Amino acid sequence: MTRSRKMSGKLTTKQLQAELDTTTNEFRSFVNAIIPEVMKHSALIYALLEDMGKMEKITCVHCKEEVARPTLSGLEQNDDCPACGKNLFGTEQTSLDDILEEE
Total residues interacting with Zn ion, rule: CB under 5 A: 7
* Interacting positions 62-81 with Zn ion (CB under 5 A): 62-63, 65, 81
* Residue 84 lies near Zn ion (rule: CB under 5 A): yes
* Residue 60 lies near Zn ion (rule: CB under 5 A): yes
Q: How far apart are CA 59 and CA 66, in angstroms?
A: 4
Q: How far apart are CA 34 and CA 57, in angstroms?
A: 28
* Residue 58 lies near Zn ion (rule: CB under 5 A): no
Q: Which residues bind Zn ion (CB under 5 A)?
A: 60, 62-63, 65, 81, 83-84
